[in-house]
Structure 1
């Protein structure tokens, strides 16, 4: 293959150069490559693999939501005491994923589930004893699954619809039962099959059948670099592939071409988007067609769309974006929640004030009711009257006489909050957003999502009525939210004009000279390949079903294939650390650095520092002068609340302190598709609080605590479910988070039991203790505030304990009065010192009676890490801390020093 020629150009020349006189049919893995190749070979016919398989099977591909409904109807026919749909969905989605793989890999459903059932019935789980009711029910579940499978297949056949695995399996069965039908479909055609050949056993059988009839030419894009290295995961799908003999010679690009790899380690999502903006501005429009943005982290889609809209960039954002993450869905859920929690008081509807405030904060609501309802004055009235539930009449009275606003009020607040009228009302609302007459301006990204969202809602209405006989808003909200988890906004564009942003899998068969990977941390590139399955690994291996290793190999291949014809590749990733992420770059970056660039001397790899990510004029020149108004605002804030986190924020970046603490700037609320570090920590704290709460005021009973370990998983799941729908932590990063938290909890409690056995009993005094004390400084009475995770006592010492989900070293808890309040690296020591100060002040104790400790879940071997205090002469810890705090407050209030950003600040978020 000529060097640097795109794979599709190369394939087009081969197809056009083939002297076959009959018809030519080109099979591609996706629409995007089909669109491009069709322009190059207009005389050929084109189909994607899925389209071909649907045609050969006689069945069309069913939507995931419709498949679940169809399965539920089949299940209800078989079960006299069928589960409600919400309970059924919890296991059915996983089951459907499993049978899809079983069919794709041509395995026998009955054999697999009988194998699993037999394994469990004789396994150590039942100790060889007679099975009880629970065990019998458990085994019966496995035995019933093949029957569910057959019932589903029967119903789908009647509809001439099916899921992907079943469609592919039917084609293989037709090769034996109806070969004439298959031969007729390919009569007179030469097939050119592009992509991974074959992708699964069903494709393998079809390709063997075609190859035996000399109707097949495969075109596979592989490189010797990973194909010839037995341990390289990217070559694994192709080794021992006989179809490579019938394909092209592999390329030798990765070891012989010139590459410029640039690594951009940055802090935060905003910094990544700003760096991306800078890189895009350096690309000329003429080079847009040769450049692509690869979205490894889909949470960056929305900020990227805002960047496109704000800057008028010519970028096609075509990634499959979860509809559940859109502003539309967040608005919808908030709207239902507002009505779901409303009450009837004095004969009229009344809304809970917090949910009403949350609802009015949506920009689209503010715009719709702008000039008609003055929310600020209404909010002031609510606060002044101390109203918990706001009557609908207050909204009506506040409304100006405006036709459009009155219609908005009717739709948003006055509708009958019943499941039967919800779909009609939300359709009217979204229709107003879409129509020009509605006068509502929403972002271009939301406009694109709007049609897809309305289409899904209409589908859900039909499905909901089919599976739920009696429903309320709570059930309906759960139904919509769960189903939106599987809905994506897709846009296949037959357009090469403009820069494209896509996921790695969307790049199949495409080539670009300049690639920009965004979100290229190891958490996203490749990210977790774990998926929920009812089929344990031992049975997967026995029956030859795909494993995590197969998924990782496939992802690795797509990554290296995309690099083959590139020239420059930028990798942007987030260095922020949290409970699950160490802020590490993708392992592919490490492979490029340690392997490829050492073997290919024409390939270079360089690090681009963070210094230029945020505009230097913004980072270095922006400062806030402490005017009288600013100082007065700061004083008011100090009187209200000053915590360790705010003090550390000031030490780290006074400018950030100003934005967050004085201006009260907050990051935009958003749905957590993936658990965030703060939520992770909250869940850990709440689970431990529930486990230890029975012991407050008493010696901790080790026997009872050990019993709690057995139910800790159940408690963790219950707490997790208070933050996320159960469907949201069945797969992916959230599932990993759940398992990590379970291990954290078990590990801590087991360690705590062992520690008490070794060192003596502990009396638990408090959990999640909120402490506040008045502190006088600079003529102000400041409200110092802190929350101690655990207070206990042993041998006369009171221990103030803080849990940390991240890693903490002993050196971080060294109290050095010369560095406390000056160096952000001593922030954890400052926090524990503050807690000791608050507790001693509150209970009139001497510091010798109170110790401060941290338990780090990422440094469990260290146990309780104590606050160590360097020699301070005659000053006590309490006196030293009070003096340092007084100095910090003086610095905060000093009008001669503006709020600026420190150059060595750990991060800047505004």
Structure 2
């Protein structure tokens, strides 16, 4: 394959020109690198390298101005804005920066296309005046201010550009306008022969400059357009070239170089639909593997990323055997881990909070660059600090709270959580100090942290620039305005890669592919909204005004993308075009119109594929764990200590949960309770009732007892909330509601007791929170002791009937404590877990000799207090007309004990594995 650059050099040599004496002007610096390399290969003798410039550098050299960054321009423009708004209250820098960016882009376009400034600004002002005509004789202040803004645009522009020119500075458009004004002087002073090559879309200033040089010197210009596109009057790839040939006087007397015929050469074009962006990256990796296998090299292969956000996924998807690689675009700083840290810090301090939300604190403490700063003698203090916050339910913390929890690291805590006082200077000082602290830690093992040290250096540079801007202009009135400029700088900064610029695999963006040719091209994200970018109206200039003044619209921008896309295909032999099959309105829609155009042209045979990920169908099997000797040994230890009723019902519900929690002793992860959890609420209610009733054990309840309890409800509930919920805040929000609910539960229950007493019921308290340990279960089949134990909420004597009561803060109905078939008692958790638990309590108290027959056992549900005492009931059949027995007698306990033994034997059966059950949560 002969590349365009190679063809140009051959032609220049045929003309007998001394290549060293030429000045080459190209669309990009990247193209200049390839040109220099091709020159070294095309010449057979030693020569001095010619001067090679990108068009931007060339124009800047003519203008005599220095191009400044967008961020610097923003500050310069704010100076103009303040200077011209002495009477009215000007916008803050934060508000200004949001609309000023758009206006600066418009200034840039107006200058690049050499539009007479007064003409367009007066035109815009007149349009707005027409739009806001009113029958009212007096305009409102809002309308007055709005129209005043449009009337001042020309004044803003004039003041701004004059100030820049005084300082020999300029934005791109101003540089181009000045270069156009001085190109005559440049031609007079410079007699060197110029060679322009590889251009397509040119703004008016570029056209004027190039035409002047062509007409007044012996300069040459080489275009790269294929006959297929040039001769088709409606093909956008040739739109600009056709205009140049038609409109430039130069081509009336000079030939047009060149119209090539490469596009119709035989090509293998594969169009692949791949779901999602990561899928595209992985698929590119597979293509490279296949290329390496079949051709054993990736020379002359380029990956062109339509969406440059795919860079990192593509780099992570490259095959390991890719030895030589060059990434042209650089790695965006915003994708570096340090960026997420400073984003978190800005968001944390932006509103100058008095205390910080625990999730924000944990996010920062867990960051990969922060956690090492909390290491002390190999002990991870950051983890201990996070665990303390979670254990104590601390939702909001101040810097002082954190220092109190971790005094030995107060300096680091001050850097992270010390107040920035909504002051940009303080924020920059803290940020730079933090970078130095991270650097000092990384320097301890420099060889292991080369890349991380590079990150810190680049961020140090970034904050130095912010500090310079803050010192020079002093426009950062808040952390929010600083954050905005920080994000602006961050988005434009990159970390450059070291690679093989001329060898091996090339990864680049669409614009970086200008002038370059590759045998194998892989283009990603060929979707509408990406390639081409589609309509965008980020401008104060309406479409009709742009058309009137020959400013570019979406039509011209689409034509630029069309040219670059087709130019990549022009000389390529193998083409892989990948598009995302999952349309996303924000990140690209359906497949690009370019693909439809390729199909309609019918020049090449297109191979269409839809790629789907290779997914091995794995049958979801429920877990099983066999009962090894070690497991059985652990079960015997539990049996000796005592099974609790809840652990047995847990086994009924899901044996695997029982295995994890009781055998392996793995407890569920405790998160911070931002709002009071159901179990915490239950604990508070239980503990409050225990405080009230414990002193009354052995006594008969009286109205006086209840009255005294009622007077202490609020204080007792508060005490237990503080005790159970640790340092959690219950003074507002959902937690305050939970506190009130707990008080209501207790109050309603006590009122129910009072009602019973006043109705003449005699209630005598027998036991409160009675703790039974190691109540033996007689199982002859087992040669080791098995015991059961647990706490019974309350036992009382109600009009001569002994009652075992279990409190439930959740809702329970009578049907949930009834049983028909004893054999289902230990197999159906959802239906019989509650009867099983209360029968366990009855069994323990009867076996222990604490109680005697007959008795009743049941539940009091705080969400169903109207149901009263919900008694355990044995029914002879389901449905209406069933015979119900509520007394627990010896036969009831014998039948229960038989089922309890079946369950215990099931737990200890070595032939029966612990099998996971599908549990609905």
TM-score higher than 0.5 here?
Answer: yes
- What residue in structure 2 maps to residue 889 of structure 1? none
Give the conservation status (yes or no) of the 8 Å contact 2:65–2:175: yes
- What residue in structure 2 maps to residue 174 of structure 1? 182
- What residue in structure 1 maps to residue 515 of structure 2? 509
- What residue in structure 1 maps to residue 705 of structure 2? none
| Structure 2 residues without counterparts, runs of 5 or longer | 40-47, 627-645, 654-667, 671-809, 817-826, 832-913
- What residue in structure 2 maps to residue 381 of structure 1? 388
Structure label with greater radius of gyration:
2
Distance in 2 (CA, whole Å) between partners of 1:373 and 1:381 is: 13
Q: Does 1:330 align with 2:340?
A: yes
Distance in 2 (CA, whole Å) between partners of 1:428 and 1:468 is: 21
Give the conservation status (yes or no) of the 8 Å contact 2:328–2:512: no
- TM-score scaled by length of structure 1: 0.62
Q: Residues 362-377 of structure 1 correspond to what in structure 2 (within 5 A)? A: 362-369=367-374, 371-377=378-384
- What residue in structure 2 maps to residue 461 of structure 1? 467
Structure 2 CA distance for partners of 1:148 and 1:281, relative to 1, 3 Å? same
Shift of 1:264: 2.6
1:78 is aligned, of 80, 84, 100, to 84
Shift of 1:427: 2.8
Q: Residues 134-213 of structure 1 correspond to what in structure 2 (within 5 A)? A: 134-175=142-183, 179-184=184-189, 186-187=190-191, 189-196=192-199, 199-213=202-216
2:263 is aligned, of 250, 254, 267, to 254
Shift of 1:251: 1.4
SS of aligned partner of 2:271: strand
Distance in 1 (CA, whole Å) between partners of 2:517 and 2:80 is: 45
Distance in 2 (CA, whole Å) between partners of 1:773 and 1:196 is: 77
2:309 is aligned, of 299, 305, 322, to 299
- What residue in structure 2 maps to residue 420 of structure 1? 425
Shift of 1:197: 5.1
Q: Does 1:229 align with 2:227?
A: no
Distance in 1 (CA, whole Å) between partners of 2:221 and 2:373 is: 57
Structure 2 CA distance for partners of 1:38 and 1:70, relative to 1, 3 Å? same
Number of corresponding residues: 628
Mean CA deviation greater in 154-163 or 493-502: 493-502
- What residue in structure 2 maps to residue 30 of structure 1? 28
Structure 2 CA distance for partners of 1:378 and 1:180, relative to 1, 3 Å? closer
Give the conservation status (yes or no) of the 8 Å contact 2:285–2:319: no
Structure 2 CA distance for partners of 1:47 and 1:240, relative to 1, 3 Å? same
Give the conservation status (yes or no) of the 8 Å contact 2:462–2:489: no
Structure 2 CA distance for partners of 1:196 and 1:470, relative to 1, 3 Å? closer
Shift of 1:423: 2.3
2:482 is aligned, of 463, 476, 495, to 476
Write the deviation string for residues 402-430 of structure 1: whole angstroms up to 9, x where unpaired.
xxx88755643458665323323323433
Mean CA deviation greater in 467-476 or 258-267: 467-476
2:100 is aligned, of 92, 107, 122, to 92
Give the conservation status (yes or no) of the 8 Å contact 2:331–2:497: no
Q: Does 1:54 align with 2:63?
A: no
Give the conservation status (yes or no) of the 8 Å contact 2:304–2:508: yes
Shift of 1:621: 4.8
Structure 2 CA distance for partners of 1:408 and 1:143, relative to 1, 3 Å? same
Q: Residues 608-623 of structure 1 correspond to what in structure 2 (within 5 A)? A: 608-612=610-614, 616=615, 619-621=616-618
2:569 is aligned, of 563, 566, 582, to 563
Q: Residues 712-751 of structure 1 correspond to what in structure 2 (within 5 A)? A: none
Distance in 1 (CA, whole Å) between partners of 2:179 and 2:344 is: 46
Give the conservation status (yes or no) of the 8 Å contact 1:308–1:314: no
Structure 2 CA distance for partners of 1:181 and 1:237, relative to 1, 3 Å? closer
Q: Does 1:519 align with 2:521?
A: no
Shift of 1:628: 6.6
Structure 2 CA distance for partners of 1:505 and 1:158, relative to 1, 3 Å? same
Distance in 2 (CA, whole Å) between partners of 1:124 and 1:415 is: 47
- What residue in structure 2 maps to residue 274 of structure 1? 282
Write the deviation string for residues 637-691 of structure 1: whole angstroms up to 9, x where unpaired.
xx9xxxxxxxxxxxxxxxxxxxxxx999xxxxxxxxxxxxxxxxxxxxxxxxxxx
1:116 is aligned, of 118, 121, 124, to 124
Structure 2 CA distance for partners of 1:99 and 1:514, relative to 1, 3 Å? same
Write the deviation string for residues 413-459 of structure 1: whole angstroms up to 9, x where unpaired.
45866532332332343355567515489998876665444333221
Give the conservation status (yes or no) of the 8 Å contact 1:267–1:575: yes
Shift of 1:353: 0.5
Give the conservation status (yes or no) of the 8 Å contact 1:56–1:171: yes
Shift of 1:317: 2.8
Write the deviation string for residues 766-800 of structure 1: whole angstroms up to 9, x where unpaired.
xxxxxx9999997459xxxxxxxxxxxxxxxxxxx
SS of aligned partner of 1:523: coil
Shift of 1:549: 0.6
Structure 2 CA distance for partners of 1:337 and 1:25, relative to 1, 3 Å? same
Distance in 2 (CA, whole Å) between partners of 1:457 and 1:310 is: 36
Give the conservation status (yes or no) of the 8 Å contact 1:264–1:610: no
- TM-score scaled by length of structure 2: 0.62
Give the conservation status (yes or no) of the 8 Å contact 1:373–1:398: no
- What residue in structure 1 maps to residue 552 of structure 2? 546
SS of aligned partner of 2:22: strand
- What residue in structure 2 maps to residue 289 of structure 1? 299
Write the deviation string for residues 256-300 of structure 1: whole angstroms up to 9, x where unpaired.
x12222223222333222212222223339633311111112222
SS of aligned partner of 1:46: strand
Shift of 1:328: 2.2
Give the conservation status (yes or no) of the 8 Å contact 2:521–2:576: yes
Distance in 2 (CA, whole Å) between partners of 1:26 and 1:267 is: 43
Give the conservation status (yes or no) of the 8 Å contact 2:272–2:609: yes
Distance in 1 (CA, whole Å) between partners of 2:462 and 2:497 is: 15
Mean CA deviation greater in 306-315 or 387-396: 306-315
Write the deviation string for residues 43-70 of structure 1: whole angstroms up to 9, x where unpaired.
3221111111111111111111111111
Q: Does 1:626 align with 2:630?
A: no
Write the deviation string for residues 706-727 of structure 1: whole angstroms up to 9, x where unpaired.
xxxxxxxxxxxxxxxxxxxxxx
Shift of 1:475: 3.7
Distance in 2 (CA, whole Å) between partners of 1:570 and 1:84 is: 50
Give the conservation status (yes or no) of the 8 Å contact 2:373–2:438: no
Give the conservation status (yes or no) of the 8 Å contact 1:85–1:468: no
Distance in 2 (CA, whole Å) between partners of 1:774 and 1:500 is: 68
Give the conservation status (yes or no) of the 8 Å contact 1:266–1:575: yes
Distance in 2 (CA, whole Å) between partners of 1:535 and 1:153 is: 19
Q: Residues 804-883 of structure 1 correspond to what in structure 2 (within 5 A)? A: none
| Structure 1 residues without counterparts, runs of 5 or longer | 345-349, 640-661, 665-771, 782-893, 900-910
Shift of 1:352: 2.2
Distance in 2 (CA, whole Å) between partners of 1:183 and 1:512 is: 39
Distance in 1 (CA, whole Å) between partners of 2:462 and 2:508 is: 22
Structure 2 CA distance for partners of 1:340 and 1:91, relative to 1, 3 Å? closer
Give the conservation status (yes or no) of the 8 Å contact 1:217–1:247: no
Structure 2 CA distance for partners of 1:448 and 1:40, relative to 1, 3 Å? farther
Give the conservation status (yes or no) of the 8 Å contact 2:325–2:500: no
SS of aligned partner of 2:326: strand
